């Protein structure tokens, strides 16, 4: 089977799986989540876990200077999975992100769900990356219009559209919302998937979906995708841009 056919068939299987289990995935239920506890941990920390806002910002919108991702509104199930993976050392970042493993270990399973619930409950806010400022500071910044093509149409024979899994500009229950995610974080993660230094992505036939896809992306592709997503408006399935 060719690589492009592998990707297409893998994503088809994955999409069917998402549809079949969508209710369970989206239903990482808020009913038994203590949002107030999650807010306290986010703002003040708990035990050996530092306050999340120190890196991710008071409104959990992320920080390009630190390479810290936006956490607000990116997905309840996704945040729970990442914190669980950090705690189990299934995801081990480098740089400033390396602190996440210790922080996650310091939180109970319920604490991690409470934090995720708090982040999920926040009112949506638009907070695009400052591409001009990033370029002025020496970052390689791509062209949003070229990134939009990959996000919505893919690269023929190589890469499927990002929205196939992540939804319209990055909204789906199992996969994180990636619109308005920070530019630096997006670039770093796509590079990590490409180099196999991050390996906690969903798999099909024991092959990591993001790792396989990222290997077909050039440096320019990654910069273009990040430029578009980090400034993309929130779009509904009907195509209407949402202000909040």
Position 157 in a domain: yes
Q: Which of 96, 121, 146 is the last residue of a domain?
A: 121
Residue 194 lies in a domain: yes
Q: Residue 209 belongs to what domain range? A: 9-21+128-229
What average pLDDT score do residues 194-208 get?
A: 94
Asked whether residue 3 is assigned to any structural domain, the reply reads: no
Residue 174 pLDDT > 80: no
From 1, 171, 215, 140, select the one nearest 77 (Cα to Cα): 171
Please check whether residue 237 is in contact with residue 168, taking contact to mean a CB–CB distance below 8 angstroms.
yes
Per the structure, how many domains does the chain have?
2
Residue 169 is predicted with a pLDDT of: 64
Whole-number pLDDT of residue 80: 96
Mean pLDDT within 161-186: 86
* Domain identity same for 80 and 49: yes
Domain match, 186 and 114 both: no
Q: What percent of the chain has pLDDT over 90?
A: 75
Out of 121, 139, 168, a domain closes at 121
At 16-70, the pLDDT tens digits run 444 443 433 444 678 899 999 999 999 999 999 999 999 999 999 999 999 999 9
Which residues touch 98 (CB under 8 Å, ≥6 apart)?
A: 92
Average pLDDT along the chain: 88
The CATH code of the domain that includes 116 is 1.10.760.10
pLDDT above 90 for 209: yes
Model pLDDT, residue 220: 98
Predicted pLDDT of residue 18: 43
Render pLDDT for 88-122 as a digit per residue (tens, 0 to 9): 999 999 988 999 999 999 999 999 999 999 999 99
Last residue of a domain, one of 86, 121, 156: 121
Short-list 71, 164, 78, 170, CA closest to 118: 71
pLDDT of residue 2: 52
């Amino acid at each position: 089977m060719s690589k492009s056919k592998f990707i297409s068939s893998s994503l088809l299987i994955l999409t069917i799986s998402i549809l079949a289990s969508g209710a369970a995935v989206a239903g990482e239920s808020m009913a038994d989540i203590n949002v107030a506890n999650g807010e306290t941990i986010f703002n003040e920390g708990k035990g050996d876990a530092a306050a999340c806002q120190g890196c991710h910002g008071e409104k959990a919108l992320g920080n390009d200077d630190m390479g810290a991702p936006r956490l607000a509104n990116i997905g309840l199930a996704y945040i729970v999975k990442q914190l669980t993976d950090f705690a189990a050392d299934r995801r081990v970042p480098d740089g400033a992100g390396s602190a996440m493993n210790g922080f996650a270990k310091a939180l109970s399973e319920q604490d991690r769900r409470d934090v995720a619930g708090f982040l999920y409950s926040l009112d949506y806010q638009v907070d695009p990356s400052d591409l001009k400022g990033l370029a002025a500071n020496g970052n390689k910044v791509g062209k949003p219009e070229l990134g939009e093509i990959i996000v919505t149409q893919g690269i023929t024979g190589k890469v499927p559209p990002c929205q196939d899994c992540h939804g319209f500009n990055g909204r789906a229950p199992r996969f994180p919302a990636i619109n308005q995610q920070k530019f630096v974080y997006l670039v770093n993660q796509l590079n990590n998937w490409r180099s196999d230094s991050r390996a906690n992505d969903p798999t099909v036939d024991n092959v990591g979906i993001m790792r396989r896809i990222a290997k077909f992306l050039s440096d320019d592709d990654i910069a273009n995708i990040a430029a578009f997503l980090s400034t993309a408006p929130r779009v509904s399935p009907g195509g209407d841009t949402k202000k909040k």
